[in-house]
Amino acid sequence: MSLVTGLACVVCGQRVDPPPGAMTCPACNDPFAILDVQYDLDAARRTLTPTALATRPPNHWRYAELLPVEPDADAWSWPVGMTPVIDAPRLAAWAGVARLRIKDDGRNPTASFKDRASSIGVLRARQCGATNIACASTGNAASSLAGFAAMAGLTATIFVPQTAPEPKVTQLLIYGARVLRIRGTYAQAYDLCSAACERFGWYNRNCAINAYLVEGKKTCGLEIAEQCDADMPDWVVVSVGDGCTIAGVWKGLRQMHEIGCIDRLPRLLGVQAAGVAPVADAFERGTLPDRVDGTTFAESIGVAVPRNWRKAVAAVKQSGGAFVRVSDAAILDAMRSSGRLAGVFSEPAAAAAVAGLGEAVSMSIIARSASVLAVSTGSGLKDIRAALTAAGAPIDVDPSMSAVEAAIQR
């Protein structure tokens, strides 16, 4: 059912036919010349109709025509995607817009948006005959890979640096991944992982540049189009680290527009942490900054050297959108407000989207009359320490009614 027609280079635009495993354009000789998967959209227009969609399973394989792998029988049951879109009127009032919907991607099986890409990567690895898959990461990409490897029956080997936080290592271990904690830096773990993949023939998911994995991220955009349908928001807000997510969301929205499922496209707001905002800089100046010196506690978007910045910048420009930067304090405030006013528990990198919405309204980039959809890219349970900073402490009370009365009057 997949309607892939080929690969094109994002820099030179040429159709390319790279050797298996190559992830950048053979003509450009540029490490940032990543590839983009192309489809027969005329054929998709005929089969991907509302009637057809109504009969398909509630996961992202429902868009098989627009995916680069064919789901096999057991993959059809993996519960990835089709995450809920929640109307959040009180959070809308807090942010200062007429309407706000949250698409809660923290509800994916391993609790982040990365499951969309991992499900594709693992399925592709299995179909290529791989039994082992590896990556170097401490973040959501790794836990997601570990979870989907477990679903698919593959062995996952994850290289983490010694400083990897315990809660994140725990999620890897519970999914049965082989966790190699390297006595060294993240860069050393990354290089060792790549070398080990070559040496042992493992499938490498270090994939900011893997064109097929990006296609998984696209499904969020396909879903927004299907779920909002005739009631498309004016703006879609996405937090940005490497840039692959927002570019994927845009590709999905655009394809649904091209095949006639929606009749207008929203504008995109990209949100970066103020301390690590190279993609926002590139949006304004056309190139990446020479270096990034700041930091952010929103680890999942703290990417100093983003690989997909070109795709991200192009997506936001094409949409007529904008970028904003948010402070860690604004992210903490958005975490609290999303929880209290919408019942959505977001990790810092996910709450950054809601913080960015507030910022864009105060800068008059987004009008107060606007209808907005923000994607919450990961669950707050991923990062309990950050959540506790936002949430505060419980009230300690002696075991008596008078103590309870005193406590609730405070």
Ligand X SMILES: *Cc1c(COP(=O)(O)O)cnc(C)c1O
Give the residue from 130, 117, 80 showing the smallest Cα distance to 211.
117
Helices (H) and strands (E) in the chain, counts: 15, 13
- Stretch of residues binding ligand X (CB under 6 A), selected from 62-70, 108-116, 280-288, 366-374: 108-116
Residue 12's binding partner among Zn ion, ligand X, none (Cβ under 5 to 8 angstroms by kind) is Zn ion
Among residues 353, 344, 354, the alpha carbon closest in space to that of 387 is found at 344
Between residues 11 and 391, which has the closer beta carbon with respect to Zn ion? 11
CA distance 383 to 366: 30
Among 35, 228, 240, 355, binds ligand X (CB under 6 A): 240
122 binds, among Zn ion, ligand X, none (CB under 5 to 8 A by kind): none
Report, in Å, the least distance between residue 353 CB and ligand X.
8
The count of chain residues that interact with ligand X, using the rule CB under 6 A, is 19
Taking the least distance from each CB to ligand X, the nearer of 25 and 279 is 279
Torsion-angle region of residue 258: left (phi > 0), alpha (psi -120 to 50) or beta?
Answer: alpha
Selected from 171, 300, 319, 337, the binder of ligand X by CB under 6 A is 300
Which residues sit opposite 19 in a β-bridge?
Answer: none
Beta bridge partners of 34: 24
Residue 355 contacts ligand X per CB under 6 A = no
Measured in degrees and rounded to the nearest 5, phi and psi for residue 378 equal -160, 150
Binding residue for ligand X, selected from 119, 143, 337, 377, defined by CB under 6 A:
377
The entry of ligand X, Zn ion, none that residue 134 binds, CB within 5 to 8 Å by partner kind: none
d(CA 308, CA 244): 5
Residue 239 interacts, among Zn ion, ligand X, none and using kind-specific CB cut-offs from 5 to 8 Å, with: ligand X
Q: Is 114 in the site for ligand X (CB under 6 A)?
A: yes
Contact present, 334 and 359 (Cβ < 8 Å)? no
Residues that bind ligand X (CB under 6 A): 112-114, 140, 239-245, 300-301, 303, 347, 349-350, 377-378
